């Protein structure tokens, strides 16, 4: 399946930034870098050290091309026993209802509060994205995974491009967007080396992704955000804070070290303002939630009673923060909003 022309016009080689053309092998740049295309999804990964192990699996699987795993289950972040059971289900019965891959991914992509939904999902937890109507603007969703935020943005009128290092998750997102008839396009890639032309998107969004990067990798990713944003464009990126109650608990458990690998890194508001201000532009903050990372009021109907109480308390404090902005310093999760001059 070829890459959609509108998407191809926006893409560029993530190594040198040059334009790409389609061949029978996928996409290729003038300097000879080749990128495979799986079911219309370009895979822009290379041999550079990755931020997460599944990227290496995605790269190997994409190079191998068609094989006996059409869902690319080896490239999604689930346990081995879950992968084996999912493979058995997909072989024994056709897909119906909720996408079975998403039914397992939901617990790995939306925080531990969603683990009770693994394998039992009856509907897709699509959140309310805190952006104005898109009116056809192009939005890049960094770390889209199975596409919940990409779809939320598309429902608000954005033409969405989702990027994630997990090939299997991106293909699940593509299936879901097609099922819903929404204008979402997806690529597999690395947030530190975005495969997009300079000043090619209007909005960059990211949720629960860059928090897992080392400080150096986070800086690289935010510089890329500034590069691909058009003048006057803006980014809205969720990040965890140092002084949130739940965040302090997790930091204490690991001895207040900065973390390794895929561990969450916690940021102060001044540090975030400095990073985003330098890489993107003038920056402001708003509260996402308290008592955890990833709690969404739009998912209240899917939560057990204890979590409903926690979400209710979080929402009350979030609304209070509108006239008491000092509360953002003790929120567990904030939105960092920057505008490119």
- For the entire predicted model, the pTM comes to 0.95
| 94: confidence class by pLDDT, cuts 50, 70, 90 | low
Strand-pairing partners, residue 162, are 141, 186
Chain region(s) in the chain for CATH 3.40.50.150:
191-339
pLDDT of residue 113: 75
The yes-or-no verdict on residue 190 having pLDDT over 60 is yes
Q: Which of 252, 265, 269 is nearest to 328 (CA)?
A: 269
For strand 201-206 and strand 229-240, is the pairing parallel, antiparallel, or unpaired?
parallel
Render pLDDT for 34-74 as a digit per residue (tens, 0 to 9).
999 999 999 999 988 888 889 999 999 998 875 678 889 88
Q: Which strands form 184-188's sheet, in the order they lie side by side? A: 184-188, 159-164, 138-142, 201-206, 229-240, 333-339, 283-289
The yes-or-no verdict on residue 104 having pLDDT over 90 is no
For strand 37-38 and strand 159-164, is the pairing parallel, antiparallel, or unpaired?
unpaired
Classify the C-alpha dihedral 64-65-70-72 as positive or negative: positive
* Contact between residue 16 and residue 29 where contact means Cβ atoms under 8 Å apart: yes
Render pLDDT for 116-170 as a digit per residue (tens, 0 to 9).
887 778 889 999 999 999 999 999 999 999 999 999 999 999 999 999 999 999 9
For strand 37-38 and strand 41-42, is the pairing parallel, antiparallel, or unpaired?
antiparallel
Residue 85: φ, ψ to 5°: -65, -40
* Contact between residue 235 and residue 205 where contact means Cβ atoms under 8 Å apart: yes
* Contact between residue 338 and residue 282 where contact means Cβ atoms under 8 Å apart: yes
pLDDT of residue 69: 80
| CATH dotted code for 191-339 | 3.40.50.150
* Contact between residue 41 and residue 167 where contact means Cβ atoms under 8 Å apart: yes
Strand-pairing partners, residue 104, are none
- Name every residue whose Cβ is closer than 8 Å to that of residue 206 and which is 6 or more positions away in sequence: 141, 142, 143, 191, 235, 237, 238
Mean pLDDT over 209-229 rounds to 97
Q: Coil, helix or strand for 211?
A: helix
* Contact between residue 42 and residue 142 where contact means Cβ atoms under 8 Å apart: no
* Contact between residue 38 and residue 171 where contact means Cβ atoms under 8 Å apart: yes
pLDDT of residue 288: 96
Q: Coil, helix or strand for 124?
A: coil
More confident residue, 293 or 278: 278
Strand-pairing partners, residue 41, are 38
pLDDT of residue 162: 98
């Amino acid at each position: 399946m070829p890459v959609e022309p509108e998407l191809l016009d926006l893409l560029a080689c993530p190594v040198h930034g040059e334009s790409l053309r389609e061949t029978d092998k996928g996409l290729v740049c003038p300097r000879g870098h080749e990128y495979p295309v799986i079911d219309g999804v370009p895979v822009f990964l290379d041999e550079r050290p990755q931020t997460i192990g599944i990227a290496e699996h995605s790269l190997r699987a994409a190079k191998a091309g068609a094989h006996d795993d059409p869902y690319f289950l080896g490239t999604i972040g689930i346990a081995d026993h879950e992968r084996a059971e999912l493979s058995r289900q997909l072989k024994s019965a056709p897909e119906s209802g909720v996408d079975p891959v998403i039914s397992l991914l939901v617990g790995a992509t939306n925080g531990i509060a969603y683990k009770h939904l693994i394998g039992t999902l009856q509907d897709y937890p699509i959140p309310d994205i805190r952006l104005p109507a898109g009116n056809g603007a192009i939005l890049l969703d960094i770390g889209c995974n199975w596409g919940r935020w990409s779809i939320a943005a598309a429902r608000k009128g954005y033409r969405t491009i989702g990027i994630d290092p997990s090939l299997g998750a991106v293909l699940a997102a593509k299936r879901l967007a097609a099922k819903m008839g929404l204008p979402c396009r997806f690529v597999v890639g690395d947030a530190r080396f975005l495969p997009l032309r300079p000043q090619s998107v209007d909005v960059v969004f990211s949720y629960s992704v860059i928090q897992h990067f080392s400080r150096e990798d986070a800086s690289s990713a935010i510089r890329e955000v500034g590069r691909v944003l058009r003048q006057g464009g803006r980014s809205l990126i969720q990040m965890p804070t140092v002084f949130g109650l739940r965040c302090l608990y997790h930091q204490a458990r690991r001895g207040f070290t900065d973390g390794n690998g895929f561990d969450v890194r916690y940021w102060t508001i001044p540090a975030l303002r400095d990073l985003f201000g330098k890489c993107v532009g003038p920056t402001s903050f708003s509260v996402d939630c308290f008592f955890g990372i990833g709690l969404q009021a739009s998912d209240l109907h899917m939560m057990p009673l204890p979590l409903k109480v926690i979400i209710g308390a979080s929402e009350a404090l979030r609304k209070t923060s509108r006239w008491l902005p000092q509360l953002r310093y003790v929120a567990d999760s904030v939105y960092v909003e920057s505008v490119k001059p």
